[in-house]
A = this chain, B = another copy of it.
Amino acid sequence: MKHPTILDVANEAGVSKSLVSLVMRGSDRVSPSSRKAVLEAAEKLGYRPNAAARTMVRQRSYVIGVMVSNLHNPFFADVIDGIDTAVTDTGYRAILTTGNRLPERERLAVATLLEMRVDGLILASPVFGREVAIEASQTVPTVLVGKAIRAPAVDSVTNDDRRGGEMVVNHLVELGHRRIAHIDGGSGAGARPRRTGYTHAMRRHGLESEIRSVRGNFTEEGGAAGMRSLLTESTRPTAVFVANDLAAIGVLEVLDAEGLDVPGDLSVVGYDNTALAANRRLGLTTVDQPRHDMGRMAAGLILEKIGQDRTTARHVVLPPKLVARESTGPPSDGERS
């Protein structure tokens, strides 16, 4: 038999399907003898409940869907850990889909989850447009992680990306840098405010004329390409703020390959404080985001929203923290302008 049902178990145990259902759901109004008979029959037949059927009748799946932008970025591994932590022992389970940073694939990944009738949706740094999140939020509690949008029902958990961008510039200016470039994160989550933070801080330090921002994305290759393009220009910056750690690793690769010294010739700063950045060999100065907590809180918001019927959106903004390591230092004398 391919998949025994509750009816097969009932037959085997000589009871009604309803009683089997009660036993499976752990009811206490079942006699010990019936319970034993049912459990033995279920074991013998290899019964496994059918979630699709349960979802239909209960109008609840007890599943939280998580769409992850890019599994290559260790940032998300931490976020997912946090989600798992929060979800464990609540009766809910988390499942993941991924869209590989491609808007179309991400949309499909979300559609898959919605068709499965997940009870909550966590969108981890999607690159697709706001409308997808907004539409989803009309039928299911939805939380964005790493990105926020203004919409009546879309919660978010972010760090203060703009403030983080400012902190990076402040740090570099304190070290004596003036020619500070930025390789941005393109359409990636949080990329915009980080860039805004960068430009604002530059202006505040009277460095408006030094603002130099090139397009990148949240991948190693994106960072590398951005750096290569910066290197073709006539004047080289003395420091570069890269939109995230992964891209910053790509920048380091390029600089190493070109024989440029970090931080001697050029200081490099990333964003996220992933395990990568902490590695001694990389020693990347970066901005810490509390990744695990962000996952925990996102799941918490979902569970809370499933419980009560809260209608207003909640936006959790966590403080960023600069972590100085070996990839930043004062500009070399020849470079000082």
Q: Indicate if A201 sits at the interface (CB-CB under 8 A).
A: no
Cβ distance A133 to chain B, nearest Cβ, rounded Å: 15
Please tell me if the beta carbons of B72 and A61 are within 8 angstroms of each other in the complex: no
Please tell me if the beta carbons of B115 and A51 are within 8 angstroms of each other in the complex: yes
Contact pattern, A 231-269, Cβ under 8 Å of B = 1, otherwise 0: 000000000000000000100110011000000000000
Cβ distance A182 to chain B, nearest Cβ, rounded Å: 23
* Complex: A116 Cα to B55 Cα, angstroms: 10
Q: Indicate if A229 sits at the interface (CB-CB under 8 A).
A: no
Within A139-158, the residues touching B (CB, 8 Å) are 139
Contact pattern, A 125-168, Cβ under 8 Å of B = 1, otherwise 0: 00000000001001100000000000000000000000000000
Within A74-99, the residues touching B (CB, 8 Å) are 74, 76-78, 80-81, 84, 93-98
**Stretch in contact with the other chain, from A11-19, A42-50, A203-211:** A42-50
Within A212-229, the residues touching B (CB, 8 Å) are 220
* Complex: A127 Cα to B84 Cα, angstroms: 18
Within A20-55, the residues touching B (CB, 8 Å) are 46, 48-53, 55
* Complex: A115 Cα to B51 Cα, angstroms: 5
Closest to A81 in B: B100
* Complex: A77 Cα to B74 Cα, angstroms: 10
> Lowest 4 A-B CB distances belong to which pairs?
A51-B115, A52-B55, A96-B96, A281-B281
